[in-house]
């Protein structure tokens, strides 16, 4: 039913549940939507307002509200993602970008957020880690620790995983989960280290420095709100730094923690999407940088995209491969979660889901 304004009444708003979403949102769909959104964000073709965070310390909970739109997409989205007592939940409202009418509610129980986070981390970890490296260390023992490794494995061979967690029993459980996936896993990340390190904790003070002693690439996933701090600031010295959103990472990411500590300048980063945008569509290996973009600011005004203006260069083109010496001691990707990726994933699911529902 459609009202006189051409809009669907709210009581007829489609609601896609987790089972229907899961059938549509394959890893291929998620990877494709997230990659294109990150590239668009790097090129200034997105709208991403600052995120909102609500904290509920009495219930070990927090709520993140994010929104975004990728230019040309048929939908924009507003997302609510909660974590209470280590249990994730939430939903996404997809809205028609041409009429403003609500298109669908995605009652995803927080899974689309988990999957888009896994995809974003895997994409940049793969892009910046030398191709011969087949072992990773993961710091953290929750759902995202498992997903970061298993989704990275969809892009490159991974044979060994080193795990660290504050609770030994949780680290042992995660190792067993990896073993069930056919990986060799040991709770020895502090002792063994690895060339590729992924952090997925809610730490509010830096993680043990010894875990990073062999790292040539680090992806930080957990510092996604003010007050969190995973990566030791000294890691950023002379590193090649990629951020998913310059303003967010400067405000409440580990990139910003390093800037405020005086380790690096506030314009020392390049956008994650720049390392994913290759003419051949093949993800590059380690990328050489000749420094920050000329004239790069400390961040946009609230509501402004952190990417360059349309047509502005995003800096040196990726194309630096794993067999070329890397002038940096390591690369670091700081990811805080970008609303444009939520919107892109939601639009892909809604476009397919509603088409399937109403196809004769």
Question: Would residue 240 count as lying in a domain?
Answer: yes
Position 9 scores a pLDDT of 61
Judgement on whether residues 87 and 148 belong to the same structural domain of the protein: no
Angle CA 347–350–351, to nearest 5: 80
Model confidence pLDDT, tens digit, residues 218-245:
999 999 889 999 999 999 999 999 999 9
Position 353 scores a pLDDT of 79
* CATH code of the domain covering residue 138: 3.40.50.720
274: confidence class by pLDDT, cuts 50, 70, 90: very high
Domain span holding position 132: 119-337
Of 83-87, 204-208, 224-228, 309-313, give the lowest mean pLDDT range. 309-313
Rg (CA), the chain: 20
Question: Would residue 3 count as lying in a domain?
Answer: no
Question: Would residue 326 count as lying in a domain?
Answer: yes
Question: Would residue 85 count as lying in a domain?
Answer: yes
Model confidence pLDDT, tens digit, residues 111-141:
999 999 999 999 999 999 999 999 999 999 9
* CATH code of the domain covering residue 26: 3.30.1780.10
């Amino acid at each position: 039913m459609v009202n006189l304004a051409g809009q669907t009444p709210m009581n007829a708003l489609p609601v896609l549940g987790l089972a229907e979403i899961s059938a549509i949102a394959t890893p291929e769909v998620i990877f494709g939507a997230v990659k294109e959104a990150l590239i668009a964000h790097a090129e200034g073709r997105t709208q991403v307002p600052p995120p909102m965070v609500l904290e509920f310390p009495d219930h070990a909970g927090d709520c993140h509200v994010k929104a975004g739109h990728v230019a040309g997409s048929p939908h924009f989205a507003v997302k609510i993602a909660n974590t209470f007592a280590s249990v994730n939940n939430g939903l996404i409202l997809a809205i028609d970008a041409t009429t403003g009418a609500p298109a669908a509610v995605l009652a995803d129980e927080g899974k689309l957020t988990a999957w888009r986070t896994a995809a974003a981390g895997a994409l940049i970890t793969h892009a910046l880690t030398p191709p011969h490296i087949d072992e990773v260390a993961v710091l953290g023992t929750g759902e995202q620790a498992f997903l970061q490794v298993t989704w990275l494995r969809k892009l490159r061979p991974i044979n060994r995983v080193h795990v660290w967690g504050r609770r030994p029993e949780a680290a042992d459980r995660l190792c067993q989960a990896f073993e069930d996936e056919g990986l060799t896993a040991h709770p020895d990340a502090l002792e063994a280290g690895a060339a590729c390190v992924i952090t997925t904790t809610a730490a509010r003070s830096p993680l043990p420095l010894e875990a990073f002693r062999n790292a040539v690439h680090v992806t930080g996933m957990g510092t996604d709100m003010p007050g969190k701090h995973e990566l030791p600031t000294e890691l950023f010295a002379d590193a090649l730094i990629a951020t998913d959103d310059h303003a967010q990472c400067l405000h409440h990411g580990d990139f910003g923690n390093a800037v405020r500590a005086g380790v690096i300048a506030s314009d020392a980063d390049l956008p994650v999407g720049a390392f994913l945008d290759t003419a051949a569509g093949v993800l590059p290996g380690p990328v050489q940088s000749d420094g920050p973009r000329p004239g790069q600011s400390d961040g946009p005004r609230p509501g402004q995209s952190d990417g360059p203006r349309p047509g502005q260069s995003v800096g040196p083109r990726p194309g630096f491969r794993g067999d070329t010496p890397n002038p940096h001691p390591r690369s670091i990707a700081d990811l805080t979660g970008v609303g444009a990726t939520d919107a892109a994933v939601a639009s892909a699911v809604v476009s397919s889901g509603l088409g399937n529902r109403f196809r004769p």
